[in-house]
């Protein structure tokens, strides 16, 4: 079609047909959304976090609603790598969409082992290393907030795979730019942010936390300004592509993240609200690019004037 902008973007060795991804843990592996979303129109599917062995996750209640947001303490419940490889990758193979596997672990070795085992699996296009989940005791955010530890996870994964390696950053830190630089030095091809902000809610009648685990991760529109600020800071600090997320609900939000420096964006909590959100974002972003007369959507990346 003449006049229609080139929507593709590049992350590591991957070329995505457009910059719209799903945020890990909010889209499972996509099967549940296939009734609402044409997966072949997504930039990529980012899977739910997968660990080597099955994880049971946290006790319920696992979610609580907050002003323009929600808290979750799912705790990376997943059936483990073997089931994931068979069931989820088996299904994703039948879909025409790049697959980014979100990797969780309790130890450096666990993270690396998952990358190693999937390195030769052609159904996997990239890894997103989740060292920033606020909902697990060992691993997760403990790694994500301390530079040396986290960087060693990244180095180990780098050594284990030649596929595109994305590292997901925690927002619960003083300075994300420093951490992002350490990850890039350790071999990350791209960084993604933000994971959820650690938060809490209380039932005042019962005088108990609304989440069984007491604290959980805040996501949704409420966190968008914080996410956007961090994407802007990190995009200005590193030379690799940044995948931006946090409260994206429509294509206008996606444009904000790209202007701030994101090469791609991911839609998370908004999938729960409207399961067709990713499609609306793809359509709206394309329309915006067209109306702004862009040849390539990449022209938006970091195009903020300050």
Partner 1 sequence: MTGCCGAGEKGHAGERPSLERVDVLSNERIAEGVGLMILHARHTASLVEPGQFVHLRVDKGRDFILRRPFSVHRARGEQIEILYQVLGQGTLAMAELSCSDDIDLIGPLGHGWDVPADVNHALLVSGGLGAAPLGGLAEKLAREGVAVTCAMGAPTQERLVGLDVFEAVARRVVIATDDGSEGELGFVTGPVERLLAEGSFDIVYACGPEVMQRAVAAMCAEVGVRCQVSLERLMACGIGACLSCVVTTKDGLKRACVEGPVFDAEEVCWDVSEIPPKH
Ligand X SMILES: Cc1cc2nc3c(=O)[nH]c(=O)nc-3n(C[C@H](O)[C@H](O)[C@H](O)COP(=O)(O)O)c2cc1C
Check binding of 24 to partner 1 (CB under 8 A): no
C-alpha dihedral sign at 207, 211, 217, 223: negative
Helices (H), 36-107: 81-83, 89-93
Angle at 229 between CA 183 and CA 222, to 5 degrees: 115
Task: State the residue number with the nearest CB to ligand X.
Answer: 25
Shortest gap between Cβ of 217 and ligand X (angstroms)?
Answer: 6
Q: Which residues contact 167 (CB under 8 A, 6 or more apart)?
A: 128, 129, 131, 150, 154, 183, 188, 190, 191, 192
| Smallest separation (angstroms) from ligand X to the CB of 270 | 6
Residue 218 binds what, of a copy of itself, ligand X, partner 1, none (CB under 5 to 8 Å, by partner type)?
a copy of itself
Could you say which residues in the range 274-293 bind a copy of itself, by CB under 8 A? 288
Interface with ligand X (CB under 6 A), residue from 18, 24, 51, 233: 24
Shortest separation between residue 205's beta carbon and partner 1, angstroms: 6
Q: Out of 276, 284, 294, 299, point to the residue binding partner 1 (CB under 8 A).
A: 276
The residue from 43, 209, 244, 268 that contacts a copy of itself (CB under 8 A) is: 209
Among 120, 273, 292, 296, binds partner 1 (CB under 8 A): 273
| CA 245/CA 20 separation, integer angstroms | 10
DSSP class of 44: B
Say how many C-beta atoms besides its own lie within 10 A of residue 65's C-beta: 11
| Residue 93 is a binding residue for partner 1 (CB under 8 A) | no
* Residue from 48, 106, 158, 181 in contact with ligand X (CB under 6 A): 48
Give me 104's structure tokens: 């969780």
Among 202, 200, 231, CA closest to 72: 200
Of residues 168 and 210, the one with the C-beta less far from ligand X: 168
Q: Which of 68, 133, 147, 157 is catalytic?
A: 133
295 binds a copy of itself (CB under 8 A): no
Residue 197 phi/psi, 5-degree rounding, is -85, 135
Minimum CB–partner distance for residue 224 and a copy of itself (Å): 6
Largest Cα–Cα separation, the chain: 62
Contact region for partner 1 (CB under 8 A) — 63-71, 141-149, 160-168, 238-246?
A: 63-71
- The sign one gets for the Cα dihedral 20, 62, 126, 241 is positive
Indicate if 115 belongs to the active site.
Answer: no
**Residue 1 or residue 67: which is nearer to a copy of itself going by CB?**
67
Binding residue (CB under 8 A) for partner 1 from 63, 182, 215, 304? 63
Among 18, 58, 85, 102, interactor with ligand X by CB under 6 A: 102
Strands ordered across the beta sheet of 264-267: 20-22, 264-267, 242-245, 190-193, 164-168, 126-130, 99-103, 45-46
Q: Which residues bind ligand X (CB under 6 A)?
A: 23-26, 48-49, 72, 74, 76, 102, 130, 133, 168, 195-196, 219-220, 223, 245-248, 267-270
* Active centre residues (catalytic): 133
């Amino acid at each position: 079609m003449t006049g229609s902008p080139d929507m593709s973007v590049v992350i590591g060795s991957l070329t995505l047909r457009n910059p719209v991804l799903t945020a890990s843990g909010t889209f499972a592996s996509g099967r549940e959304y296939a009734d609402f979303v044409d997966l072949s129109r997504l930039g990529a599917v980012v899977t739910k976090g997968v660990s080597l062995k099955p994880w049971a996750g946290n006790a319920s209640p696992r979610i609580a609603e907050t002003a323009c947001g929600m808290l979750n303490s799912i705790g990376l419940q997943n059936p483990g790598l073997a089931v994931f490889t068979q069931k989820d990758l088996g299904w994703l193979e039948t879909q025409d969409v790049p697959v980014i596997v979100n990797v969780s672990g309790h130890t450096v070795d666990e993270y690396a082992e998952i990358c190693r085992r999937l390195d030769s699996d052609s159904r996997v296009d990239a890894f997103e290393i989740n060292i920033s989940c606020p909902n697990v005791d060992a691993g997760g955010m403990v790694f994500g907030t301390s530079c040396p530890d986290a960087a060693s996870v990244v180095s180990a994964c780098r050594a284990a795979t030649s596929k595109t390696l994305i590292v997901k950053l925690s927002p619960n830190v003083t300075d994300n730019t420093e951490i992002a630089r350490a990850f890039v030095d350790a071999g990350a091809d791209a960084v993604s942010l933000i994971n959820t902000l650690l938060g809490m809610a209380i039932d005042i009648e019962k005088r108990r936390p609304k989440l069984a685990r007491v604290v959980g991760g805040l996501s949704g529109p409420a966190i968008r300004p914080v996410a956007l600020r961090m994407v802007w800071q990190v995009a200005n600090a590193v030379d690799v592509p940044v995948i931006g997320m946090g409260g994206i609900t429509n294509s206008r939000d996606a444009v904000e993240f790209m202007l701030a420096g994101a090469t791609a964006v991911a839609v998370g909590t908004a999938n729960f609200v409207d399961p067709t959100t990713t499609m609306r974002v793809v359509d709206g972003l394309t329309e915006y690019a067209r109306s702004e007369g862009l040849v390539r959507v990449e022209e938006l990346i970091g195009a903020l004037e300050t």
